[in-house]
Amino acid sequence: MKVRTRFAPSPTGFLHIGGARTALFAWAYARRHGGTFILRIEDTDVARSTPQALQAILDGMQWLGLAHDEGPFYQMQRMPRYKEVIAEMLAAGKAYHCYMSKEDLDTLRAEQEGRKEKPRYDGRWRPEPGTTLPPPPDGVPPVVRFRNPQDGVVAWDDQVKGRIEFANSELDDFIIARADGTPTYNFCVVVDDRDMGITHVLRGDDHVNNTPRQINLLQALGAPVPHYGHLSMILGDDGQKLSKRHGAVSVMQYEEEGYLPEAVLNYLARLGWSHGDEEVFSMEQFVQWFDFDHITASAAQFNTEKLNWLNAHYLKQADPQRLAGEATRRLARQGVVVAGGPDMARVVVLYRDRVANLNELADAVHPFFVAAKPADEMRAQHLTEPALKGLSALRERLSACAWQAAELGQTVKQTATDSGLKMPQLAIPLRVALLGMPQSPSIDAVLEVLGRERVLARLAAVLPG
Ligand code: GLU
């Protein structure tokens, strides 16, 4: 059997962390087994679906690198297909027209609730041998209901939660097409899963109650029943259900906040799945390890600290050119043009192991591209008379020495000694003069990367006369 999985988001909101994890697991399972990963957009809730949400989902998938092999398929474009299957089911007696009005349904519900029963359709329009149905009322467009089996149980071995069973007596003949002819949610999912040959359905456990209905429908259609795995929800850092309150709802918000996609992916992979004690691994490794057996059935708790730790880890080893691109893009968002400045790839290397995310990286490299005027207070504290003297002497020497880190470090040291200053008494004012702040990575490296011209100009700017 060739594995075929799908991710089937509804474009009614952004791609959030829970959805991204579902997508990642479905993607990884397909990759693991040399199968096919399908993207399907469940956009039939016209009132709540928006093009912005759709775009955010597509952007999120792309940013994470979860490439689909087929699709995206849009349910709204498959309406003729759903109608065709509804007609087939009606013709085969697997579904039937129900003319019950909303008022009658409300009355029925009130009666059932009065008897403390679960509200459910009572099957009054269900054709049964030996019973005669009333003539259809005039002018009432019927809904179409599925003839759900009345006896027995519908059960499946959930890949995450273990065996789950529902008694068919608990399920009523649910509506598969509304009075205006539009198919309902569970019906579209079933037709799609069948037509797309889905072998493994992974989704959030908010869908557990849909599964018995979908299985019955698939069986009525004579279609194979896929394996189902229902992923537990993700809780916030505070143990509450993950929500907008937890800040980062959309995956793209992590991008905005300066996370690397590989950090987010690694983090998501461990959110409710494990491989021994392994915490840090690549997607190639994850794909080799991923299985359903090690998905935890209990809810996973989000841990921002761990995500931040992973992000810092991946930043440290990220390719300088890539980080340079990210820092450039992020500075451009602030209106900072880096062209004409020092080599960004060399600058980011000085900072990639000192920052927690790409925004911090962009902030850190900013003064290399825009000379930061030291604040008055900082001037007063660091650019003192003796310090300025030392900087002046240093400027002289830097205009002539070889421009190479070791040589530059030696020059600063020698100038400090000759000026009667301790190394920090010169190096700190030098940082203030060059970058507008008293701390920086190794001063030799900063000098080297900034380049002679910029260094001399920045020193001149703080020196009197
Ligand atoms: N469209 C559903 C959702 O966004 C997913 C349905 C499914 O995976 O079967 O929750």
For the domain spanning 81-177, the CATH number is 3.90.800.10
Please tell me the distance from the alpha carbon of residue 92 to that of residue 174, in angstroms, as a whole number: 17
Domain range 376-462, its CATH number among 3.30.1330.50, 3.30.300.30, 1.10.10.350, 1.20.120.530: 1.10.10.350
42, 158, 191, best to mutate for ligand 1 pocket (most atoms within 8 Å of CB)? 42
Please tell me the distance from the alpha carbon of residue 165 to that of residue 154, in angstroms, as a whole number: 6
User: In the prediction, which pLDDT does 224 show?
Assistant: 97
State the pLDDT confidence band at 245, using cuts at 50, 70 and 90. Answer: low
Instruction: Give the tokens for residue 364.
Output: 């850190």
Q: Residue 246 pLDDT more than 80?
A: no
204 CA distance to ligand 1 middle (Å): 8
In eight-state DSSP terms, residue 373 is P
State the pLDDT confidence band at 413, using cuts at 50, 70 and 90. Answer: very high
5, 10, 25, 27, best to mutate for ligand 1 pocket (most atoms within 8 Å of CB)? 10
Q: Residue 248 pLDDT more than 80?
A: no
Instruction: Give the tokens for residue 99.
Output: 């003319």
Can you give the pTM of this predicted structure?
Answer: 0.93
The predicted model gives 36-51 an average pLDDT of 96
The answer to whether 38 touches 5, Cβ cutoff 8 Å, is yes
Own/partner contacts of 290-296, CB < 8 Å, gap of 24 or more, are 290/25, 290/28, 290/29, 290/32, 291/32, 292/29, 292/159, 292/160, 292/229, 295/25, 295/159, 295/160, 295/229, 295/231, 296/232, 296/272
Ligand 1 atom nearest to 6, measured from its CA: 8
Residue 46's identity, in one-letter code, is V
The predicted model gives 106-118 an average pLDDT of 93
The predicted model gives 207-214 an average pLDDT of 97
User: In the prediction, which pLDDT does 373 show?
Assistant: 86
306 lines ligand 1 (CB under 6 A): no
Q: What is the CB-side half-sphere exposure of residue 206 using CA atoms within 13 A?
A: 7
Instruction: Give the tokens for residue 63.
Output: 């940013």
Question: pLDDT tens digits, residue range 283-292?
Answer: 999 999 999 9
Q: Residue 247 pLDDT more than 80?
A: no
Active site members = 244
- In 3D space, the residue among 394, 332, 378 whose CA is nearest the CA of residue 358 turns out to be 332
Q: Residue 200 pLDDT more than 90?
A: yes
Q: How many CB atoms lie within 10 A of CB 139?
A: 5
Q: Residue 236 pLDDT more than 90?
A: no
The answer to whether 295 touches 270, Cβ cutoff 8 Å, is no
What are the structural domain ranges in the chain?
1-68+232-317, 81-177, 319-368, 376-462
User: In the prediction, which pLDDT does 241 show?
Assistant: 81
Question: pLDDT tens digits, residue range 130-186?
Answer: 889 999 999 889 999 999 999 999 999 999 999 999 999 999 999 999 999 999 999
Instruction: Give the tokens for residue 151.
Output: 């006896």
Please tell me the distance from the alpha carbon of residue 192 to that of residue 176, in angstroms, as a whole number: 14
Residue 188, helix vs strand vs coil: helix
State the pLDDT confidence band at 244, using cuts at 50, 70 and 90. Answer: low
Q: Which residue's C-alpha comes closest to atom 6 of ligand 1?
A: 8
Q: Which residue's C-alpha comes closest to atom 4 of ligand 1?
A: 9
78 lines ligand 1 (CB under 6 A): no
Q: Which residue's C-alpha comes closest to atom 10 of ligand 1?
A: 9
Classify the C-alpha dihedral 452-455-458-461 as positive or negative. Answer: negative
Question: pLDDT tens digits, residue range 422-441?
Answer: 999 999 999 999 999 999 99
42 lines ligand 1 (CB under 6 A): yes
- In 3D space, the residue among 197, 190, 206, 232 whose CA is nearest the CA of residue 95 turns out to be 190
Counting beta carbons within 10 angstroms of the beta carbon of residue 26, is it exposed (0 to 12), middle (13 to 18) or buried (19 or more)?
buried
- In 3D space, the residue among 74, 126, 119 whose CA is nearest the CA of residue 100 turns out to be 126
In eight-state DSSP terms, residue 183 is B
Question: Kindly report the CA angle at 223 between 222 and 228, in degrees rounded to 5?
Answer: 135
User: In the prediction, which pLDDT does 299 show?
Assistant: 92
Which CA distances in Å does 229 have to 192, 193, 197, 221, 299?
17, 14, 16, 22, 14
The predicted model gives 214-223 an average pLDDT of 98
Domain range 1-68+232-317, its CATH number among 3.20.20.10, 3.30.70.141, 3.40.50.620, 3.65.10.10: 3.40.50.620
Q: What is the per-residue DSSP string for 91-155?
A: HTTSEEEE---HHHHHHHHHHHHHTTPPP----TT---TT--PPPPPTT-PPEEEE----SSEEE
The answer to whether 299 touches 329, Cβ cutoff 8 Å, is no
